[in-house]
Amino acid sequence: MTAQKTVKKLKVKMVSIYIMGKEYKVPEGLTIHKAMEYAGYKLVRGVGCRAGFCGACATVYRFKDDYRLYTGLACQTTVKDGMYLVILPFVPAKKPGYDIEKLKADFSSIVKLFPEVTRCVQCNTCTKVCPQEIQVMDAIQMILRGDIKSAAELSFDCIACGICSLRCPAEIIHYNLFQLVRRLNGKYLTPKSQHLVQRLKEIEEGKFDKELEKLVKMGPEKWKELYEQRVIE
């Protein structure tokens, strides 16, 4: 009873949102995800980490009397009055397979796998819709001029939500392209970290085999105990 009273006292402002065309009254300040749950939806697709990192909840929305199409992540964007929205849980996209060992970090390797990248007309729509505020078109342009490193750096914050690829009039699949670019950058253009090479050598030589074996034999109870006792820096 007291709980109910508290809610009444707070007088939460309700706003109207339209989920796939149907109107719901939801409390102001909720994220789109929480508002959908409030409205009775059980989130199965179009939901993931709920922390803005996984890219599973790409959402597009408009307001009445506003021609602009807005985008955001359902877990990060709060509802506003008059919001017409839909979550796009999946973006159909080609994803060519490749052997990274056989590729070079250059334009010709990329264009063979993603020939459509040359169709960019530089309309900049991709940049405008990116919820991560990446300079998407600039990254595509870096690929076209063969600057793989800059393309990788510009696209570093990409979470592969796919909104850019849905909006692109040239039908470029930016996020798969960017993943390739970052892989090429990591493999061929970034200096190798020597301590990693050293550690891998130690692992291969069996330096940690005994310790690992000891751990495996301990079993779950002992693991839990060790976990509780671990030193946190």
Partner 1 sequence: MKYLYFPGCSLKNYAKRYEETAVAVAKALGIELIELKRWNCCGAVSGLAEDSVFHHIAAVRDLVRAQEQLDEADSNKLVTVCSMCYRVLASVNNRLKHNPEDLDTINEFMSPEEYNGGIEVVHLLQIIKDDIGFDRIAEFTKKDLSNIKVAPYYGCVLVRPKETAIDDPNEPTILEELIKSTGATAVENPLRTECCGSYNVVTNRELVKHRILNLLKPIMRENIDFLISVCPLCTFNLEFGIKANKKELHGREIPVLYFTEFLALAFGLDDKLEKEVLQAVNI
User: Does the protein bind partner 1 through residue 116 (CB under 8 A)?
Assistant: no
Question: Sign of the C-alpha dihedral, residues 172, 173, 175, 179?
Answer: negative
State the Cα–Cα distance between residues 27 and 8, nearest whole angstrom. 13
State the Cα–Cα distance between residues 26 and 38, nearest whole angstrom. 7
DSSP state of 190: S
CB closer to partner 1 out of 91 and 144: 144
Of positions 89, 98, 113, 138, contacts partner 1 by CB under 8 A: 138
User: Does the protein bind partner 1 through residue 141 (CB under 8 A)?
Assistant: yes
User: Does the protein bind partner 1 through residue 107 (CB under 8 A)?
Assistant: yes
State the Cα–Cα distance between residues 45 and 199, nearest whole angstrom. 40
CB of 129 to partner 1, least distance (A): 14
Structure tokens at 78: 């709060």
CB closer to partner 1 out of 145 and 201: 145
DSSP state of 75: T
User: Does the protein bind partner 1 through residue 111 (CB under 8 A)?
Assistant: no
Of positions 14, 94, 124, 215, contacts partner 1 by CB under 8 A: 124
* Dihedral angle of Cα 33, 37, 40, 43, to the nearest 10 degrees: 70
Of positions 145, 199, 207, 224, contacts partner 1 by CB under 8 A: 145
Query: What residue ranges bind partner 1 (CB under 8 A)?
Result: 107, 120-124, 135, 137-138, 141, 144-147
